[in-house]
Structure 1
Amino acid sequence: MRRLLIVVVYVALLLGLGGGLGWWWVQRPLPVGDATRDFTVAPGASSRSVAQAVVDAGVPVSADALYWWFRLSGQSRLIKAGSYEITPGTSPEALLDKLVRGEQALRSVTLVEGWNFRQVREALAKAERLTPDSSALEPDLIMSKLGRPGVAAEGRFFPDTYRYPKNSSDLVVLKQAMQAMDKMLAAAWAQRQPDLALKTPEEALIMASIIEKETGQGADRPLISGVFNNRLRIGMPLQTDPTVIYGLGASFDGNLRRSDLRADTPFNTYTRRGLPPTPIAMPGAASLLAAVQPARTDALYFVAKGDGSSHFSPSLEEHNRAVNQYQRNR
């Protein structure tokens, strides 16, 4: 009986020691040094394959030990698929917690108000750990892959900061931005004035893109919209330089000439009446709202004053005086 008691006590001590060592191990930082290790958990991956993925990422740890920790924790079935990173100081306990929460390694890219689609693509190409699946595709094919065949890419993406898991496709970011623009445009259109000169959300998007490029000071947006809505109502050409510049494309050298204003393109609002065929840039929320809620004004002209704001005039005579005052210093 005494011998049996000794054996029981000995086994209990061993189990206690083992449990203590196990608890110490799951709380001890994994040996990654100063480096960050990246790994991916595929959908439906087993806990054993997750443990092996950690080892394959360059973490010198026993895959069996990690596997049994995942199993004994009772949370192995809760591990979520995704792209993860192990940073210095991460313990097995913290790693499992991250996997169960689905706390993926995220990066971000910012799309700026007023950018055109070429600039959007340049930003995506430079974004950290973003897979360039769209880099070799023409814009129309990109839109087809996003589920919008036949829709112009220009202006279809909402300017904002987008977060994505490492190694995501740039098409995923574009789809997020496209859906965000859909939502913002619909919200703005729902708030449109009843007597608006614009007839469709598409026209509102085009108008908003022009307002975005014409505005030097945010407070002027509704007035600029008022001018352009007034011109549309009476059939007067919009005569806005940003559309001409957009139509010139890569040939524009930064200096807009009189000959450029006379060169007819689908985007030359001096030679053609009405709106251009597509947006010319990405409008932000303020420009979208200004497009559908123009200021009540009799102004038909405006000119930049040199301080970011504009002077608005109801007549050509007053406009010419403002041009002489603010741009010709007469």
Structure 2
Amino acid sequence: MPFSVKILGSNSATPAYGRNHTAQFIQIQKHTFLLDCGEGTQLQLAKYHCKAQKINHIFISHLHGDHYLGLMGLIFTMHLLRREKDLNIYGPQGLDEIITLQLKYSASALNYKIRFHQTDSTKTELLFADDTIEISSFPLNHRIPCTGFLFKEKPKPIRLHKERLPADLTLLQIATLKKGGDILNENGEVIFKNSDLTLPPRKSRSYAYCSDTKYDETILPYIKDVDLLYHEATFLEAKAIWAEKTFHSTTKEAATIAKKANAGLLAIGHYSARYKDVTPFLEEAKQHFDNTILAIEGESIEIED
């Protein structure tokens, strides 16, 4: 089952050098999510063949324009395409007012319902959960209220070892195996051990998204041991003072967080428009955390189970 993160936008405040504002298209098993929705996101969705109508949950980290100014355009396009299914939007206080105001003054009545879920940037919250996945928010240290998001698969079931299964097992006995039990005879004696007929569950995967934040180790408990970490790296290390002033991070700082969190893989993005070539970002980050990649628009990062 898929667990992938497609980068739609990788730049910070200003689109430049073919790089766009922040947005990510997430596919986890049967779900499709959108993380942030900067200007031009719907064009990027179309360019990279991402089906916007499959998106039922949109997560907005904060109200700086490069993270949400594409949202209204996407909302209206979904309406024009006759969407009927509810759209869940998770974001900070004020985002609901922004949406309502634009609908009001454009005299628009959508074909579908928007269900707004206000996030709290001061604490961690469980935002969504079903039988396969849970999504929570956690505080980031930015100039305005900002949240990160953590996507975690729930523990997966035991797998049957089909090559070892006796042909005459009943459905009840198979169900027992899936629950971790042994197969017993009428006298309560074990005739088949569970460990002999099953395989361990597949790995439960995880992804943490840290959009805009200065270096802050208080996020470590939320992202510890995550398989994939996206952490902004707006500046090269030479601009560390500027990163501190603007509540952003450098390559070294993003890599240091990944190392201390014991992340499996680090993806860095949110590049400042002052840089045309982002190759030095990778070179600097890998000096501190070798398993680092660049967030490149159009590319998907797959997490294997």
Same fold (TM over 0.5): no
Greater strand fraction, Structure 1 or Structure 2 = 2
More relative contact order, 1 or 2 (CA 8 Å, 6+ apart): 2
With normalisation by structure 1, the TM-score equals: 0.21
Greater helix fraction, Structure 1 or Structure 2 = 1
